[in-house]
Structure 1
Amino acid sequence: MEAVSRTVLEGHIARVIERMKDMRGSIHETAPIGIISMDNWEWPQGVGLFALYRYYRETGEQEILHYLTGWFDSKLDGGIPAKNVNTMCPMLTLSYLAEETGRADYMQLCREWLEYALHDMPRTEEGGLQHEVTGSPNTGQLWDDTLYMTVLFVARMGIVLKEEACIQESIRQFLVHLKYLTDPVTGLFFHGWTFEGGHHFARALWARGNSWYTAGLVDYLEMVELPSGVSSFLLSSLARQVRKLTELQAPEGAWHTLLDDSSSYLETSATAAFTYGMLKAVRQGLLPEDCRKPAMAALHYVLGQIDEEGVVQGVSYGTGMGATLDDYREIPVCPMPYGQSMALLLLVEAMKHV
């Protein structure tokens, strides 16, 4: 396989960032809040902001910092949406910016949203965070998306405020979600579980949902220092997931949107997130070196999905809980902020491997 040069990666990074800032919809949106344009405050934008912030920390590019503070300032002036699992996602980046800038208004907002997450956010049985989103309470439901969208922020605030209770809450959420979402046969994760009826909906082993764990765990472990028993458990879940992923990887280097269904389309955002998590875990000694080869094959696939204008192609639109597997197969494909952001995280990580 041909090696990837730093020059190639740098060129892709610049184009991906520019297109992320200027995302525009190419399909009729079905989400209650627009999730394509970076002008909105929702989970896709939150994922995008986090990737931009990580890039800023790597490079020190002040233009990126100005973009991020400008984004939040415009939203604070214009009003922000109601609190839920998905609208919590931008707060992860704001927690870093609050420290970076020393701005009291940023920190106050972080404290306010943390209080909601800890004390007022709806819960399922066993204290799991119910995946309430804009337009739907999803009563009694656990989704694998929640770990990335809300729990990372709770853990991060535990570090910022030196509040051990936040760290312990983040541990509980990881353990409760893994208890109910892990498929014991494959080690992959079902998209969701409901306590109302006690089932996994379509039993979908959905790629992007799985990738929230792969990408999110390596960043979580970088944020917090966990008891060794907890970190060992979370890493063993990652290792088993990745072993199965390598079995299911398509010849092209990507993964299908339903991981165990080769008739479903190849999906770029999940592929990028899987690859980011795998490469970072290998670099940090959390996964064995033999995981590098499938990850590099996936990197080549993602590079091939970035067009000349920096748009990441092959990304599925926002995906709610499916009642049937066809619900996942039929999700439309269009450029999305999280496609851009997961590609960006991957490309920046890949710079450390060339």
Structure 2
Amino acid sequence: MTNLLRHRLFWPLAILALLLLGNLAFTPGFFSIQLRDGHLYGSLIDILRLSAPLVLVALGMTVVIATGGIDLSVGAVVAIAGALACLRISEQDNQQSVSVVLLAVGLALLGSLLLGLWNGFLVAAVGIQPIIATLILMVAGRGIAQLITGGQIITITSDPYRLIGAGYWLTLPFSVLIAVVVTAIAVTLTRRTALGLLIEAVGGNPRASRLAGIRSRRLIVSAYVFCGLCAGVAGLMISSNVSSADGNNAGLLIELDAILAVVIGGTALAGGRFSIAGTVLGAVIIKTLDTTIYTIGITPETTLLFKAVVVIVLCLAQSPAFRNRVFARRRHPDPPAPTASAPKLEVPA
């Protein structure tokens, strides 16, 4: 039982279970899933669908943080990717063409890769601190997205493009299937090969990893490229879900939710060991919390405060130091202080 409580995923799972049960108290049919027109519908399916973009961004953020860095520009990359794809499709006469959509998606993903490469170049080659290097793109990227859209919201009517974020395949949301595939690839590369160990070595002790012959610069650049790619796919999901691109609001503050999901999952911000399963769970918790807020009818004025309180409770529950201080004293009360005895006087013979 003690080992179970100490597992890094126990407390996030416990919090997720409490949130789901809390929704059940206010919505009796919260756990019901129905099959209509060959698609699965229900509150749980909606949570998974809403979690898919955040899962992708958080996966990229996990790898970057594991190398000892951070990426604040993922929200801007989300906006740029959606803007590039929607602009390309809107310029075509036949928006229902699959080839047009594939070219637009390829253009958006290529732009996301280049943006990730730019971040990696600034961090690994130039030597700029990650928070500053990505802050540059965070500010400039939002402006680039607005330049692409001309400061307007680009609306499209493409059914093939809408499939990415709002479509279904094999009865499940297509965005969820994409997130599952990307997660499986990330797990395979980091846990079935030596790549994960190398990333942890670079993030845990950069100097020792260089002395050991690890090419840390290539790993760091690759981490930022992967993060940019994940943010680009998330941008496609978000824009296709509403069939439009908004350079100003798309992906706004998603970087904060992604960092929070990584922390909830048990990955240390200092770098080193990371948990992909924990990150996915953290992203689902955040979206479940958003759903809970609307379900129980919390007023908009207190929404952010309620969310902050839940996050604080979750982080404290995960902290081994906090649990030891609170529970260890109850199990092992401090022994009474020994009383000082009067010194014995020795009388010389």
TM superposition score normalised by structure 2: 0.25
Query: Larger Cα Rg: Structure 1 or Structure 2?
Result: 2
Higher RCO by CA contacts (8 Å cutoff, separation 6 or greater): 2
Where is the helix percentage greater, Structure 1 or Structure 2?
2
TM superposition score normalised by structure 1: 0.24
